[in-house]
């Protein structure tokens, strides 16, 4: 079986971006929800500071989207390479 790398990359980008967006949005509304998770993301996403503002929600969502895109593409490519050598 072979993965469609573009489809996997886009699926990963949408899922990771949406998950981070929802956590950041709920944190914006409810205060402390997911604060430790968002602080962890701020250590890996330059320019994101885990403060409660709509701009920060958009910044972390964009970072997460592209992080998921790259991660999904690398995973799909690596899977296809390893699956080819295993068969």
pLDDT digits (tens, 9 = 90+) for 63-87: 999 999 999 999 999 999 999 888 7
Q: What is the pTM of this model?
A: 0.91
Q: Is the pLDDT of residue 17 over 80?
A: yes
Question: For residue 31, what pLDDT band results from cuts at 50, 70 and 90?
Answer: confident
**Which of 8, 18, 33, 23 is closest to 64 using CA atoms?**
18
State residue 1's pLDDT score.
Answer: 85
Chain centroid, CA 83 distance in Å: 25
**Which of 55, 52, 18, 21 is closest to 35 using CA atoms?**
52
Token digits of residue 58? 């958009």
20-39 core/surface letters (b: 16 or more CB in 10 A; e: else): bbebbeebeeeeeebeeebe
């Amino acid at each position: 079986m072979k993965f469609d790398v573009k489809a996997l990359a886009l699926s990963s980008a949408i899922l990771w971006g949406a998950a981070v967006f929802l956590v950041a949005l709920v944190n914006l509304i409810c205060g402390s929800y997911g604060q430790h998770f968002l602080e962890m993301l701020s250590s890996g996403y330059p320019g994101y500071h885990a403060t409660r503002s709509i701009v920060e929600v958009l910044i972390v969502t964009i970072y997460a989207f592209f992080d998921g895109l790259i991660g999904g593409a690398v995973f799909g490519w690596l899977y296809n390479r390893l699956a080819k050598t295993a068969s």
